[in-house]
């Protein structure tokens, strides 16, 4: 379980998340919706250890996460992968797609072996696409590479922040199918953040919503929903 407890985030004097708690169980796709600006991406970044909250804590498979960003232990950081809405902001424009996918393996000092090609094939990247740089491919092709990269170290939790927004319907369906197959194969927990309710209805096993006013929770779905103690 990836468990956020009593998370408070402020940007300047504005409180965006006010003691919000959220559980992401393994082997489940939890959809997180809510109006624009209510704090979904903020919560996603906290749960990926990328953003240090003003208050609250995170635990991973029962162990407290002792720090944020680079201060979180590497073994914990690699258990949680984050996919952004805009792949162009998430890649080094100088790298070829093959190198982008292999980045986490290189950082971990591991040989790519066949894994990079296997993941590329799974996300639908074939032929010369793997030799191209980001400016030579479409957003959808780049997002496919980002998904393959996110799966290289086999994370136990995958956080998809508007992963398929801006992509065409067939790319969206393919990427969702890849994530679902990964969940089935590995038992990973998936947080699917989206303002697209129809997508979440199709994709998620359970759904939750953040609300705008101070990110107070509502609980439309039977299971995991954000909770606030206030």
For binding to ligand ATP (CB under 6 A), which residues are involved? 11, 16, 34, 36-42, 195
Residue number, 20 or 125, with CB nearest to ligand ATP: 20
Q: Could you tell me the smallest distance in angstroms from the CB atom of residue 13 to ligand ATP?
A: 11
Q: Could you tell me the smallest distance in angstroms from the CB atom of residue 136 to ligand ATP?
A: 28
Q: Could you tell me the smallest distance in angstroms from the CB atom of residue 42 to ligand ATP?
A: 3
Q: Could you tell me the smallest distance in angstroms from the CB atom of residue 46 to ligand ATP?
A: 10
How far is the CA of 181 from the CAs of 73, 76, 87, 159, 207, in angstroms?
28, 23, 21, 15, 19
State phi, psi for 212 to the nearest 5 degrees. -70, -45
User: In a 3-state reduction of DSSP, which class is residue 42?
Assistant: helix
Q: DSSP letter string over 138-181?
A: -HHHHHHHHHHHHHTT--SEEEEESTTTTS-HHHHHHHHHHHHH
Residue number, 69 or 74, with CB nearest to ligand ATP: 69
Tokens of 226: 């954000």
Residue number, 45 or 98, with CB nearest to ligand ATP: 45
Q: Could you tell me the smallest distance in angstroms from the CB atom of residue 17 to ligand ATP?
A: 8
Residue number, 38 or 130, with CB nearest to ligand ATP: 38
Helix H or strand E encompassing 206: strand 206-210
Cα–Cα distance for residue pair 97/187, rounded to 1 Å: 27
- Other residues' Cβ atoms within 10 Å of the Cβ of residue 126: 10
Q: Could you tell me the smallest distance in angstroms from the CB atom of residue 79 to ligand ATP?
A: 22
Residue number, 34 or 224, with CB nearest to ligand ATP: 34
How far, rounded to the nearest angstrom, does the alpha carbon of residue 81 sit from its chain's CA centroid?
A: 6
Residue number, 37 or 187, with CB nearest to ligand ATP: 37
């Amino acid at each position: 379980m990836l468990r956020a407890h009593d998370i408070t985030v402020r940007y300047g004097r504005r409180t965006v998340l006010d003691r919000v708690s959220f559980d992401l169980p393994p082997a489940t796709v939890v959809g997180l919706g809510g109006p624009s600006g209510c704090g979904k991406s903020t919560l996603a970044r906290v749960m990926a250890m990328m953003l240090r909250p003003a208050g609250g804590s995170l635990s991973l498979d029962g162990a407290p996460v002792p720090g944020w960003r680079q201060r979180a232990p590497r073994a914990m950081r690699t258990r949680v992968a984050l996919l952004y809405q805009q792949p162009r902001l998430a890649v080094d424009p100088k790298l070829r797609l093959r190198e982008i996918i292999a980045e986490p393996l290189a950082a971990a000092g591991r040989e790519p072996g066949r894994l990079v090609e296997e993941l590329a094939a799974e996300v639908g990247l074939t032929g010369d696409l793997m030799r191209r740089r980001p400016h030579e491919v479409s957003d959808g092709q780049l997002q496919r590479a980002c998904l393959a990269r996110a799966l290289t170290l086999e994370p136990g939790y995958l956080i998809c922040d508007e992963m398929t927004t801006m992509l065409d319907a067939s790319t969206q369906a393919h990427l969702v199918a890849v994530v679902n197959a990964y969940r089935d194969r590995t038992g990973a927990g998936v947080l699917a953040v989206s303002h697209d309710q129809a997508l979440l209805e199709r994709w998620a096993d359970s759904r939750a919503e953040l609300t705008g006013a101070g990110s107070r929770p509502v609980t439309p779905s039977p299971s995991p929903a954000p909770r606030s103690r206030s």
